[in-house]
Amino acid sequence: MINVIGLGYIGLPTALMMATHGLEVVGTDYNEDLVATLNDGKTTFKEDGLDDLFDAALKAGIKFTTEYQVCDTYVISVPTPYDKIDKKIDPCYVVSATNTVLDAAPTGATLIIESTVSPGTIDRFVRPILSERNRGDVRLVHAPERIIPGDMVKELLHNNRTIGADDPEVGESVAELYANFCQGEISVTDIRTAEMTKVVENTFRAINIAFSNELAKICRVGGMDVSEVIRISNKHPRVNILQPGPGVGGHCIPVDPWFLVGDYPETANFIRMALQTNASMPEYVLERAFEVMKKEGIDNPEKVGIYGLTYKEDVDDVRESPTLQMLESMDIHLCGSSMRVYDPWVERDEVANQVHSVDEFLEGLEMIIVMVGHSQLKDDLSAFEDRILLDPRNVCGDGENIYKL
Ligand code: SAJ
């Protein structure tokens, strides 16, 4: 039996995928409400294909509980927040989950950590627990998750995976376990390399986005169209520049690269600069919004609305979202967050001035900042027609009323 610990954005789909591929799975989370919701037959977040996978997993016999199980394999998939001041990882959830697993785990159990951790975290925080508790018998593995929100179900099936283990035989046996559902290539390596590759992958993406954001700023100063510049540059067979935008959100790309900066402050200079460039974007959009307001004679921020609150399109996750970062920066500049906010994906109240229908959003609005290009935007755009649009993601098409980054 496999006990998946932590039923959030990664743990839940992983547990469901395992359960629908012939494995006996129990999902555990300390959050009683979350477990109750799952036991009521409902999923806890929106994700393409998740509800169908959930129904199939229920039929296959998956169970949800707050209790850790006595079994041979544990998958830890808990959050790894970071300290915003010193930029280092906070491994508290991994540490407490490991301790509780060890209370239940029989001799020789396999402990797979899927949570993203900075290189060396397992040596510094997990191994000491195993030695203190005399549990050298536990087979320790790091199998960092790689799935992208918005396409998680497909990526769980098709992405290549990395398995880090002390003993290559243990690594191979865990690779076989994942091969029950994973059709990608599975690389087996040591634990520290697995930790590093995960952070490197997200750092690579952060730097690529930072490059495009910097290009957007250069093109604005130089009077060039950054989208056209990137589109044509990407026709080169060895160039693949990502898209500029209003900032970088989510729990991964703006967070994980800081682990390297936090642990290697003297060396990770290039990475630090890239992260600072991405972090500057929400405020850059705000400045651009004021520029456009001035040009268009819009003097009152209450006549300006923000479309999109999630960190990217077609997800309901608002963590570290560019809109939240922008609202924070408005508070700092004392212009208040008087702009109305609407996001078709976010039903719960997250911020002041949030409204829950397009009609309420549009009432009296003269300008809209389109922060997220949800699929619904295609329908909503026709209603936005006679307003001024600021389009930092370049998802609204072209027109006299549409301003770019
Ligand atoms: N973004 C841009 N321009 C782009 C692409 C993205 O501004 O061209 C922005 C998005 O709008 C968003 C942020 O970057 O605000 C991050 O979004 P994302 O789609 O790039 O990535 P995540 O955070 O949803 O998922 C990433 C993925 N990592 C990589 O692709 C290397 C995913 O595979 C990881 O599993 C995930 O991080 C994670 O959990 O680590």
Nearest to 35 by CA among 74, 78, 8, 64: 64
Assigned fold of 2-189: Rossmann fold (3.40.50)
Verify whether ligand 1 is closer than 6 Å to residue 250 (CB atom): yes
252 is catalytic: yes
Q: Which CATH superfamily is domain 202-403 in?
A: NAD(P)-binding Rossmann-like Domain (3.40.50.720)
Verify whether ligand 1 is closer than 6 Å to residue 245 (CB atom): yes
167 with 139: CB under 8 angstroms? yes
Closest residue to atom 14 of ligand 1, CA basis: 248
What is the side-by-side strand order in the sheet with 25-28? Answer: 63-65, 25-28, 2-5, 73-76, 110-113, 139-142, 161-165, 186-189
310 with 47: CB under 8 angstroms? no
Per-residue pLDDT of the chain (405 residues; tens, 9 = 90+): 999 999 999 999 999 999 999 999 999 999 999 999 999 999 999 999 999 999 999 999 999 999 999 999 999 999 998 887 777 889 999 999 999 999 999 999 999 999 999 999 999 999 999 999 999 999 999 999 999 999 999 999 999 999 999 999 999 999 999 999 999 999 999 999 999 999 999 999 999 999 999 999 999 999 999 999 999 999 999 999 999 999 999 989 999 999 999 889 999 999 999 999 999 999 999 999 999 999 999 999 899 999 999 999 999 999 999 999 999 888 765 555 689 999 999 999 999 889 999 999 999 999 999 999 999 998 888 889 889 999 999 999 999 999 999
396 is catalytic: no
pTM of the model: 0.95
Cα 9 to ligand 1 centroid, rounded to whole Å: 14
Verify whether ligand 1 is closer than 6 Å to residue 246 (CB atom): no
Distances (CA, A) of 93 to 33, 82, 98, 115: 18, 11, 8, 10
- Catalytic residue of the set 63, 198, 303, 312: 198
Verify whether ligand 1 is closer than 6 Å to residue 249 (CB atom): yes
- 252, 258, 260, 372: residue to mutate for ligand 1 pocket, most atoms within 8 A of CB: 252
Nearest to 5 by CA among 54, 57, 74: 74
Cα 149 to ligand 1 centroid, rounded to whole Å: 8
Pinpoint the residues of the chain covered by CATH 3.40.50.720: 2-189, 202-403
Closest residue to atom 39 of ligand 1, CA basis: 252
Cα 59 to ligand 1 centroid, rounded to whole Å: 32
Verify whether ligand 1 is closer than 6 Å to residue 146 (CB atom): yes
